[in-house]
């Protein structure tokens, strides 16, 4: 059975557990500027501290340890350390030339750890999701209040940057592509366009059921208005990305589980795909820290599970292996959400 068929079989049987925060775990290491510099970047002119994706090249041991920690506590899927792995995001550090390498090496590291854990427990196969972040630019909103028509990036520039990232992730062995933390659906559409083009070039089918690489989409509702930053409601967001045969659609970041519930309900009731959720560990305190512990988060998430709203569950900002352990234990008490496929006769 190939990797996609294996994943689809697992998704029918159980709630799949995604990992927790990468950045939160990296912060525990108290890293210095030197930790972010490879020998080739020893004399690089710009500061590199904080460019977490770069650690896949400079400190792969740390990234491997974080992946292992999440698998140890029950994660089925880990995300590659590539949230800012595009030329667009890496331009802040003057490292556009390393975008492909960052994605390739990040996927290789994650794949190695996934294979180790799958060999230990063959009845619980582990998977790698290639993380594709939103970039630090938006195609729908002007960054200049005095020039509302201005855009800092074009659709074509986004698509080109995403294509390079996708090639690196696939070459490194990613089992899934995860377009996440979407605040602007036009950015996500550029990523989906890049995925479709890349699959066509590689001769990969678009539908996971036909053996293609599964594609996960995860949007971000930014506040209590229930909209993304570019102004879409959850239902509008779903409609905007439903032209692609996705593996899953879901929500992550910005909100805690309790705040996410009404928007997840919309997806659960309307999505012809699996539904994912990986909320933050509550809302940040006045210092920007996340105080919600694993048990409190699990208590809030249980509502999703009792109501059959979820297929894939994990954590975003502030979550740690403790949180994922609690979610993994909780998920075993519940079955996955059933997809009610919309048929032509229903339309």
Q: CB of 74 within 8 A of CB of 18?
A: no
- Three-class SS of residue 217? strand
Helix (H, G, I), strand (E, B) or coil at 32: coil
Nearest residue to 131 via CA among 93, 75, 85: 85
Q: What does the alpha-carbon distance between residue 272 and residue 275 come to, in Å, rounded to a whole number?
A: 9
Give phi and psi for 143, each to the nearest 5: -80, -5
Q: What is the DSSP letter of 120?
A: H
**What is the dihedral sign for C-alpha 278, 342, 239, 163?**
positive
**Alpha helix (H) residue ranges in 178-320:** 185-202, 234-241, 257-270, 294-306
Q: How many CB atoms lie within 10 A of CB 56?
A: 27
| List of residues 6+ apart from 57 with CB closer than 8 A | 38, 98, 101, 102, 105
Q: Do 252 and 278 meet the contact criterion of CB atoms below 8 Å apart?
A: yes
Dist. CA 185–CA 345, nearest whole Å:
29
Only one residue has tokens 């979820």, namely 310
CA geometry: angle at 318 spanning 55 and 288, to 5°? Answer: 100
Tell me if 316 is assigned to a ligand binding site.
Answer: yes
C-alpha–C-alpha distance, residues 336 and 58, integer Å = 39
Residue 331 phi, psi (nearest 5):
-65, -25
Nearest CA among 135, 206, 217, 136 for reference residue 178: 217
DSSP 237-262: HHHHHTTS--SEEEEEEEEEHHHHHH
| Annotated binding-site ranges for Zn(2+) | 253, 316-317
| Annotated binding-site ranges | 253, 316-317
């Amino acid at each position: 059975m190939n990797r996609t068929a294996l994943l689809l079989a697992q998704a029918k049987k159980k709630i799949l557990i995604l990992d927790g925060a990468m950045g939160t775990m990296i912060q525990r290491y108290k890293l210095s500027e030197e930790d972010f510099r490879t020998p080739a970047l020893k004399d690089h002119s710009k500061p590199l501290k904080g460019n977490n994706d770069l650690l896949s090249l400079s400190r792969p041991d740390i990234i491997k340890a974080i992946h292992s920690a999440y698998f140890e506590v029950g994660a089925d899927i880990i995300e590659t350390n590539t949230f800012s792995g595009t030329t667009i995001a890496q331009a802040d550090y003057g490292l556009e030339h390393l975008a492909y390498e960052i994605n390739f090496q990040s996927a290789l590291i994650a794949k190695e750890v996934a294979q180790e854990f799958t060999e230990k427990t063959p009845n619980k196969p582990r998977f790698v999701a290639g993380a594709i972040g939103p970039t630090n630019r938006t195609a729908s909103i002007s960054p200049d209040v005095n020039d509302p028509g201005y855009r800092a990036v074009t659709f074509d520039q986004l698509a080109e940057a995403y294509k390079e990232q996708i090639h690196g992730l696939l070459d490194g062995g990613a089992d899934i592509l995860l377009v996440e933390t979407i605040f602007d659906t036009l950015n996500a559409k550029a990523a989906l366009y890049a995925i479709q083009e890349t699959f066509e070039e590689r001769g990969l089918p678009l539908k996971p059921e036909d053996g293609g690489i599964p594609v996960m989409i995860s949007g971000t509702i930014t506040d209590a208005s229930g909209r993304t930053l570019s102004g879409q409601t959850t239902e509008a967001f779903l409609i905007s990305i439903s032209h692609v045969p996705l593996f899953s659609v879901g929500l992550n970041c910005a909100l805690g589980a309790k705040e996410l519930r009404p928007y997840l309900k919309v997806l659960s009731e309307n999505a012809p795909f699996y539904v994912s959720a990986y909320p933050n560990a509550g809302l940040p305190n006045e210092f920007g820290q996340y105080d919600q512990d694993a048990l409190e988060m699990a208590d809030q998430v249980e509502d999703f599970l009792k109501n059959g709203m979820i297929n894939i569950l994990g954590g975003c900002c502030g979550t740690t292996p403790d949180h994922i352990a609690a979610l993994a234990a909780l998920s075993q008490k519940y079955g996955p959400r059933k997809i009610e496929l919309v048929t032509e006769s229903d339309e």
